[in-house]
Amino acid sequence: MAVTLDTGSSDLWIPSVSSKPCRKGDCDGGEFDPSKSSTYNVIDQGGFNITYAGPGDSDAGNWVEESVTIGGSKTINSTIIGVALNGADDHGVMGVGYDTNEAEADFFRNGTYPTVLDHMVSEGLINRKAYSLYLNDLNETTGSICFGCIDFTKYSGDLVALPLQQSAADPYDETATEIAPSVFYVTLTGVSFIDFTGAETTLSSQDYSQSVVLDSGTSEVLINNDILTGLANGLGAVQTGDQEYVVPCSYSNTNASIRYTFGGQGGPSVNVPLSEVIYGQVVPPRDMAGHSSGGCNMGIEGPIDGQLILGDTFLRNAYVVFDLDNYQVAIAQARGGQASTSSIEVIPTGTSLPGVSSTVTATGTQLDYQQANAGATGIPEAYGSTVTAGTPTFQLSVSATASNATPSPTSGSSSGSGSLASSSSGLAAFITPAPQAAFLGAAGVIAGAFLF
C-alpha cells in the first residue's frame, strides 16, 4: 500500500475497503481488508480519529494491532496503526515524527504508543530513531528515505547540524511554558532572492531568527508575511479570490532562486530554484492577461495558526537528516536527479551523525499572536475573470509570453502540524535493502539501515 510520508505527523494509518473513497474506487494506492488478515486485532474500536488542516479533512476508524513490513523489511509485529473506516482521504499516511505528536490514543495511559520508528529500533532494524529524506526534483518520479542511514550521493557541500527548537505550549500565549520539541522546529535566520545575474536581494530583517517546521506533509512554504510581501511584489504576483498567489507560469524558466539560511553564522544554506517553487497552472492562458503560459501557483503563502512551515517546495532541494533521539537535524543542499546508492553509511548509536561537518546553535522564536494574524500587505488582488500580473521588480530575464508551464505535483491527503495539503510527489514507491555500511548490488537484508 502507498502512503504519504509525513515528517509533520506521527501515526501510521491506512484506508479500509469500507471507507467512502475506497468504495468509490478511488484508493489507487491500495485498500486494506481486515477480514483477510489473520493478525488483525482491534484494540480501540472507533477510537481512531485524526484531523488535518484542510477543511473537512479528517479520517476515523479503529486503532488496531497489526503486522507491518516496509519494503521487504523484517515483519514488525503488533504495530499500532489506525484503520480508517470513514474519511476523506484515498490513501494513508505514515507519520515519522515524535510520539508526542500522535493523534490521541485513549487506550494508553500516557496518551502515546510506540511509533513505527520505535519498533524499527526495538526490532534491530535501525540503531537509533534517525532517517534521512531526499524528495528529489519536482519533475522526478522517485526520491528516497533512508531509515537509520545517510546517503552521501544525494547532497553537495557540507552537512551541518541544527538543534531542534522547543515548542510553545500555546503559540497564542506569550507566557506559555516551552515544552520539548514534538515537531521539527529549526531556526531560520535568513531568506533572500537571487536573480539571474547573481544579484542577491535580502527579504528578511537583519536580526531575523524564526522557528520553522520542516514538514514533508505540507506542499508549500508558509513564511512570515513581510517576507511573503517582498517576494510576491518582487515577482509581480497577484492574489486571487481563493487566496492563492499567482505568477505567470513562464517565470519558472528564469535562472533565479530563493535562498534559505539556517542557524546563524556558519549555518547551512539551501538554494531553491524558481522552477521548483512555481507549479501547477491555476489560471488558464485565456484568463492571464499578456501571458500565454497562464498563471501558476507561487508555492509560498503566509503562516497558518501561527506556524511557519517549510514544506515540499523547500524540501525538494534540501537533504535533511532527522535525528529524533538527539533532538537535532542536519541539512545540506540536495543534488537533484540522483539515483545512485553507492555511498551509504549507517547511523550508529550515540549522538554523532556521519558526514556532519559542524553544528550551529542559533535559537529562534515563534510568531506571537499579533504577528501570526497580521496578514500580507500591498499585494494586488485579482477581480473579475481576467488576472493581470504585476510588474516584477526582480531581474527575471524571461519572456512575458513564454508558454512553458511547470507541472503540478502529485496531490495527496492533508497531513499534520498545520499542513495545507500532503504531497507524495517525489517519494519512492520501493525500498532497496542494504547491508550494514554500503550497497552491494541489491543484495542483503539491512543490519542497521534500509532505503525506501
* C-alpha span between 40 and 12 (Å, rounded): 15
Burial 63-79 (b: 16+ CB within 10 A, else e): bbbbebebeebeebeeb
**Pairing, β 356-359 against β 155-163:** parallel
Q: Which pTM value belongs to this model?
A: 0.87
Task: Give the model's pLDDT for residue 403.
Answer: 41
What does the DSSP 8-state code read for residue 448? Answer: B
The letter for the amino acid at 432 is: T
**Pairing, β 41-51 against β 3-6:** unpaired
Task: Give the model's pLDDT for residue 127.
Answer: 96
Task: Give the model's pLDDT for residue 110.
Answer: 66
Q: Break the chain into its structural domains and give their ranges.
A: 3-122, 131-372
pLDDT (tens place) for every residue of the chain, 452 residues total: 999 999 999 999 999 999 999 999 999 999 999 999 999 999 999 999 998 766 668 899 999 999 999 988 899 999 999 999 998 899 999 999 999 889 876 666 667 899 999 999 999 999 999 999 999 998 888 899 999 999 999 999 999 999 999 865 544 455 555 567 889 999 999 999 999 999 999 999 989 999 999 999 999 999 999 999 999 999 999 988 766 899 999 999 999 999 999 999 999 999 999 999 998 899 999 999 989 999 999 999 988 877 899 999 999 999 999 999 999 999 999 999 988 888 999 999 999 999 998 999 888 887 765 666 666 777 878 777 788 888 899 998 764 444 444 444 433 333 343 334 433 332 222 233 332 222 222 222 334 555 65
Place of cell 557540507: 158
Residues in contact with 238: Cβ distance below 8 Å, sequence separation at least 6, in sequence order:
245, 246, 247, 295, 379, 380, 381, 382, 387, 388, 389, 390
3-state DSSP assignment of residue 248? strand
- Nearest of 70, 72, 165 to residue 115 by alpha carbon: 70
- Using an 8 Å Cβ cutoff, are 158 and 166 in contact? no
- Nearest of 448, 203, 452 to residue 345 by alpha carbon: 448
Task: Give the model's pLDDT for residue 109.
Answer: 61
Equal fold, 3-122 vs 131-372: yes
Task: Give the model's pLDDT for residue 412.
Answer: 35
DSSP string, 115-181: -HHHHHHHTTSBSSSEEEEE---TT-S--EEEETEEEGGGEEEEEEEEEPPPEES-TT-TTPPEE--
Residues in contact with 346: Cβ distance below 8 Å, sequence separation at least 6, in sequence order:
127, 148, 149, 354, 436, 437, 447, 448, 449
- Using an 8 Å Cβ cutoff, are 355 and 437 in contact? no
Task: Give the model's pLDDT for residue 303.
Answer: 87
* C-alpha span between 114 and 100 (Å, rounded): 10
The set of cell numbers assigned to 218 is 505540507
Domain 3-122: homologous superfamily in CATH: Acid Proteases (2.40.70.10)
The class that CATH gives domain 131-372 is mainly beta
Residues in contact with 89: Cβ distance below 8 Å, sequence separation at least 6, in sequence order:
15, 21, 57, 59, 412, 413, 414
